[in-house]
Amino acid sequence: MEDLLDIYTKLENNLLQSNKWANFYESLGRKTWFISCDEDKCLVIKLALYKDKFYLYVPRGPQCSTRGWHVFLKKVKELAKQENCVFIRVEPYKVPNGTLKKLGFRKVNKYSPLSRQFSPMDTLLLDLRNDESVILSEMKPKGRYNIRLAERKGIKVRESQKEEDLKVFYELSVGMKERGFTSFDFEHYEKLLKSLSKSKNIKLFVAEYGKEILSILMVCFFGKTAIYLHGASGDNKREFMPNHLAQWAAIKEAKKRGCDVYDFWGIAPNDDPNHLWAGITRFKKSFGGEPVHFLGAFDFTFEPFWYKMFSSLNIVRKGLLRK
């Protein structure tokens, strides 16, 4: 049987390197390009840094050989000069040994400009090639119990692509800021839903008790992979476990669509109990799955002065936040 990670990392299963993802970013007013890398092409997105300074971003890529990386870098250097970009940030699944160092890329750390990668370095992958009964049996006992508890308590889950449900999702996500979670603005979610709903690549899974919406998950489907991209829930009736039943509904829908992999999209590294995602990690791991660690994000600098300047500003900002 093909390895789960091999399926997940195939370009045809990578939503974040697709035309659909490019269309989403273009709907937000961003410029995008597909740059050749070996026989495949790599999505590059232009994002704002400050005023007239920008950077290039490659989500979950590139995927190419050593020679392909050289060709790719030569082309993005030309693009960066044309678009006034300070650096490019890449998030490759894997890279030929030593290639990034030889080319001059540096690992993103807490002192880098925008000191994080957008795609999680650590995630959890669930194998959907098994029967539903097997998937249930391989969950942690608490996960199965919470699904059944939600059903007994009368939680119902429906699928939606309606804007009124998205507005509730946004309200719930804003409310989660008190629990330490950050939210995109409404336009981001709205454009994402509109861009992917046309081709049925996205669904909201709405968990309700009576007429009250308790939680909503946003799940994307692309190729053989489903991604639990965003989730939002309130405090009311959390003990009824609406998130567990909504997640189970999304997993079953992914399986019905022929997906082989369900990506829970981000967990705390090494089960760190002090990590911001510690609680959500326990929730996700209750469904089983295989933890996966990726290389992380790397920057190549086109304008060293401005890169150092933005790094310094980030260090100052972090210092002020600690006070």
List, for residues 102-123, the tens digit of each pLDDT value. Answer: 999 999 988 888 755 578 999 9
Q: Are residues 137 and 255 in the same domain?
A: yes
Q: Are residues 193 and 317 in the same domain?
A: no
Mean pLDDT computed over every residue of the chain: 92
What is the pLDDT at residue 279?
86
What is the pLDDT at residue 140?
96
Q: Amino acid identity, residue 13?
A: N
C-alpha 258, offset from chain centre: 21
Q: Are residues 159 and 235 in the same domain?
A: yes
Query: In angstroms, rounded to a whole number, what is the distance separating the alpha carbons of residues 60 and 93?
Result: 6
Mean pLDDT of 302-317: 88
Mean pLDDT of 54-74: 94
Q: Is residue 64 part of a domain?
A: yes
Q: Is residue 11 part of a domain?
A: no
Q: Is residue 23 part of a domain?
A: no
Q: Are residues 75 and 169 in the same domain?
A: no
272-280: long-range contacts, CB 8 A cutoff, minimum separation 24: 276/180
Q: Is residue 205 part of a domain?
A: yes
Q: Structural domain tally of the chain?
A: 2
What is the pLDDT at residue 110?
81
Q: Is residue 131 part of a domain?
A: yes
* Sheet architecture: strand order including 40-50: 32-37, 40-50, 53-58, 85-90, 298-301, 106-107
Q: Are residues 313 and 279 in the same domain?
A: no
- Tell me the three state secondary structure of residue 297: coil
Q: Which of 172, 137, 132, 162 is nearest to 253 (CA)?
A: 132
pLDDT tens digits, one per residue of 120-135 = 999 999 999 999 999 9
Q: Are residues 274 and 306 in the same domain?
A: no
Range of the domain at 155: 122-293
- pLDDT for residue 321 is more than 60: no
308: domain CATH number is: 3.40.630.30
What is the pLDDT at residue 147?
97
Straight-line distance from the first to the last Cα atom of the chain, in angstroms, rounded to the nearest whole number: 53
Q: Are residues 244 and 130 in the same domain?
A: yes
**What band does 180 get if pLDDT is binned at 50, 70 and 90?**
low
Q: Are residues 266 and 182 in the same domain?
A: yes
Q: Is residue 50 part of a domain?
A: yes
**What band does 13 get if pLDDT is binned at 50, 70 and 90?**
very high
- pLDDT, greater one: 318 or 181: 181
Mean pLDDT of 228-243: 95
Q: Are residues 57 and 134 in the same domain?
A: no
- 305 φ, ψ to 5°? -60, -50
How big is the chain, counted in residues?
A: 323
Structure tokens, 262: 């369900």
- pLDDT for residue 87 is more than 60: yes
Query: In angstroms, rounded to a whole number, what is the distance separating the alpha carbons of residues 242 and 154?
Result: 10
What is the pLDDT at residue 319?
59
Q: Is residue 145 part of a domain?
A: yes
- pLDDT for residue 323 is more than 60: no
CA distances from 73 to 16, 105, 288, 301 (A): 20, 10, 39, 11
Mean pLDDT of 19-45: 94
Q: Is residue 270 part of a domain?
A: yes
What is the pLDDT at residue 1?
62
Q: Are residues 132 and 268 in the same domain?
A: yes
CA angle 247, 250, 255 (to 5 degrees): 130
